[in-house]
Amino acid sequence: MKKPTNYLVIMLATLLVGCGVHQRKSDAGFTPLFNGKNLDGWVMHGEERWYVENGELICESGPRAEYGYLSTADYYDNFELSLEFKQEANGNSGVFFRSTFEGTKVSGWQVEVAPPGSNSGGIYESYGRGWLIKPDPEKDKALKMGEWNTMKIRAEGPLVTTWLNGVEMVRIEDAKIGDGKGAIALQIHDGGGIKVRWRNIMVKPLGK
């Protein structure tokens, strides 16, 4: 007896998945930095709160309301990074790259994650030159406050490009950045009252 068409479609899809035709993002060269269960592979700096809830990584101001960071145990020099964030209760945060830490003093570069009108997607050098480049103000509308946003960062030698929800925010070529080495890190700003959710944190190493 001839099987129904929908039955054949289901069987074919099952076979394709089993053969690896249906690829997850990690199969395309990306690997997860966050396992959705715990903070394995990460290093905490400071006393602010970092925890996992419902498969999401959450940063939240602690009683001291100081700066806090969660960095990768491994260093990443040339890479593409893709992640999603959802800002709650202010949402002033950031994504650091090629960064090193002494307590909560960080040497490196931050891609800003902040409330509307605060240059999300721009690049700031901590304990150094300050703002290196800010997005054009009209690009700020790419940020969806209180909703999930997708950020992408590509760092290759001295060239760094950032995207927010598919919009290219900034592109900079800088010799000092090109010489930098260090970890990828998430930040929680000082001041208190901040909460940000993160998920789907994926990295793809690039060639030298």
For the residues 60-88, what does the mean pLDDT come to?
93
Specify whether the CB–CB gap between 49 and 65 falls below 8 A.
no
pLDDT digits (tens, 9 = 90+) for 94-143: 999 999 999 989 999 999 999 999 999 999 999 999 999 999 999 999 99
Whether 7 maps to a domain, the answer reads no
CATH of the domain at 103: 2.60.120.560
Q: How far is residue 83's CA from residue 141's CA, in Å, rounded to a whole number? A: 19
**Gap between the Cα atoms of 141 and 99, Å rounded:** 28
Question: How many domains is the chain partitioned into structurally?
Answer: 1
Kindly state whether residue 1 falls inside one of the protein's structural domains: no
For Cα atoms 101, 97, 56, give the angle at the middle one, nearest 5 degrees: 95
What's the pTM? 0.84
Q: Is residue 120 part of a domain?
A: yes
Structure token digits, residue 10: 């289901």
d(CA 115, CA 113): 7
Asked whether residue 158 is assigned to any structural domain, the reply reads: yes
Q: Is residue 178 part of a domain?
A: yes
Q: Summarize the confidence of residues 72-101 as an average pLDDT.
A: 94
Measured CA angle at 53 (ends 47, 73), to 5 deg: 55
- The DSSP string of 97-117 is EEEEEETTEEEEEEEEE-STT
**What's the pLDDT band for 21 if we cut at 50, 70, 90?**
very low
Residues 6+ apart with CB under 8 A from 24: none
**Domain with 168 in it:** 24-205
